[in-house]
Amino acid sequence: MAVKNFGTRLKKLFAGDKLSPVFFESLEDLLIEGDLGAKTSFELVDQIKTEIKNKKIKTESDFMELVKMYLSNQIIVDDYTPNNDKMNIILVLGVNGVGKTTSIAKLASFFKKEYGINSVLSAGDTFRAAAIDQLMHHGHKLNMRVVHQQHGSDPGAVIFDTIESAVSKNDRIIIADTAGRMHNRENLVKELEKIDKIIKTKTKEGSYKKFLVIDATTGQNGLRQAESFHNAVGIDGVILAKYDSSSKGGIVVSICRDLKIPILFLGTGEGYNDLVRFNKNDFLNNLLDLK
C-alpha cells in the first residue's frame, strides 16, 4: 500500500549506520512498502550495497541520485499522439471503479485542448446499469457525441456501431468504455477478447490502442491487474488514476519493469482538466521527496 514520506524515510535511513545488515534490511522493506516490487527492491539494495562499500555513495545526495537513476531506468514513458491520417481508436480497460469512465472524459477533453479534435465516446460498458448514463452525461458536458445502445446489449456491437458511425461522419478519435466487472473474471476476459477482435477486423487501416487504467491507491494488486489484462488482449499504455490521493504511484515501476508497458498519463483529480502527461522526472522527484 501507499507509503507516506517515502523519500524522507529513505533519507532518514541513510543517516543511520549504512554498513549494518539492519540498514539494508530496512531499506529493502521500505522499497517494497513503496510498491516498487520485490525484484526491483532486491536489485536496488544490492547495487546500493556495492556502491556504499566501494565508497561511490558518500553523501545523502549520492544515495538519492542513485535510487532516482535506477528507478528512472526502469520506467518507460510514451507520449501518445493521435494519428493524423488514420482513425484513432482507444479502448479503455481496467477493473471496476479504477477510474475508466472519468479517464475517458478527461482524455476527450485533453485531445480537444491539445489538438482541437472532438472525440466520439462509445458506451461499451453495457453491464453496469448506470454506466451508459454516466458516459452520456460526460458527452453532454463536453459537447461530444456518444454512441450507445441499451443496458445489457452486446458491447462488441456498440463498438462496431461506433466505428461505422465514426467512419461515415469522418470522426478522428473514438474512445471506448468497457465494463470493469462481469459475472466472473472468465466472462470479462472472453468479452474483452471478442471486443478486441471486432475492433481489429473493423480497423485494419486505423490506429488502435488499448489503455489500461490503474488506481494509484491499489498497490501491488495493480501489477496483477496489468498482468491479466496484458495477457488477455495486450496493453499499449497505462493511465495512473487517483494520483492526487496519498499514493505516489510506485506501482508504475513494477508495471514497466515486469511487463514493459509504458506509462502515458496521470489522473490528478475528478475534473475534466485533471489529466497530465506522465513526466518521469516530476514523478520521481515527487516519489522521492526531492526538490
Ligand X SMILES: Nc1nc2c(ncn2[C@@H]2O[C@H](COP(=O)(O)OP(=O)(O)OP(=O)(O)O)[C@@H](O)[C@H]2O)c(=O)[nH]1
Q: Which of Mg ion, ligand X, none does 277 bind, CB closer than 5 to 8 A by kind?
A: none
Angle between helices 251-259 and 221-233 (to 10 degrees): 30
Minimum distance between the CB of residue 124 and ligand X, rounded to whole angstroms?
Answer: 11
Answer whether 246's CB lies under 8 Å from 2's CB.
Answer: yes
Q: Which of ligand X, Mg ion, none does 148 bind, CB closer than 5 to 8 A by kind?
A: none
Residue 99 CA to residue 118 CA, distance in Å, equals 21
Q: Which of ligand X, Mg ion, none does 262 bind, CB closer than 5 to 8 A by kind?
A: none
Q: Which is nearer to ligand X, 46 or 244 (CB)?
A: 244
Answer whether 249's CB lies under 8 Å from 287's CB.
Answer: yes
Candidate ranges 47-55, 77-85, 100-108, 233-241; the one touching Mg ion (CB under 5 A): 100-108
Cell numbers placing 70:
535506477
Residue 22 CA to residue 281 CA, distance in Å, equals 30
Minimum distance between the CB of residue 199 and Mg ion, rounded to whole angstroms?
Answer: 18
Tell me the backbone φ, ψ of residue 105, rounded to 5 degrees: -60, -40
Handedness of CA 43, 48, 53, 55 (dihedral sign): positive
Strand 146-147 and strand 263-267: pairing? unpaired
Q: Which of these, 266, 111, 97, 265, lies nearest to 174 by C-alpha position?
A: 111
Q: Which is nearer to ligand X, 103 or 254 (CB)?
A: 103
Q: Give how many residues touch Mg ion by CB under 5 A.
A: 2
- Sheet with 263-267, side-by-side order of all strands: 146-147, 119-122, 173-176, 88-93, 207-215, 237-241, 263-267, 275-277
Between residue 29 and residue 68, which ones bind Mg ion under the rule CB under 5 A? none
Minimum distance between the CB of residue 131 and Mg ion, rounded to whole angstroms?
Answer: 5
Answer whether 67's CB lies under 8 Å from 6's CB.
Answer: no
Minimum distance between the CB of residue 91 and ligand X, rounded to whole angstroms?
Answer: 13
Q: Which is nearer to ligand X, 47 or 286 (CB)?
A: 286
Minimum distance between the CB of residue 79 and ligand X, rounded to whole angstroms?
Answer: 19
Candidate ranges 47-55, 94-102, 155-163, 202-210; the one touching Mg ion (CB under 5 A): 94-102
- Residue 101 in contact with Mg ion, rule: CB under 5 A: yes
Q: Which of Mg ion, ligand X, none does 270 bind, CB closer than 5 to 8 A by kind?
A: ligand X
Q: Which helix (H) or strand (E) holds 244?
A: none
Q: Which residues bind ligand X (CB under 6 A)?
A: 94, 96-102, 125, 128, 131, 180, 241-242, 244, 267-270, 274
- Residue 138 in contact with Mg ion, rule: CB under 5 A: no
Q: Which of ligand X, Mg ion, none does 225 bind, CB closer than 5 to 8 A by kind?
A: none
Strand segments, DSSP code E, in 68-117 are 88-93
Minimum distance between the CB of residue 286 and Mg ion, rounded to whole angstroms?
Answer: 27
| Binds Mg ion by CB under 5 A, chosen from 68, 100, 202, 242 | 100
Q: Which is nearer to Mg ion, 88 or 103 (CB)?
A: 103
Q: Which is nearer to ligand X, 99 or 206 (CB)?
A: 99
Strand segments, DSSP code E, in 199-251 are 207-215, 237-241
- Residues of this chain that bind Mg ion (CB under 5 A): 100-101
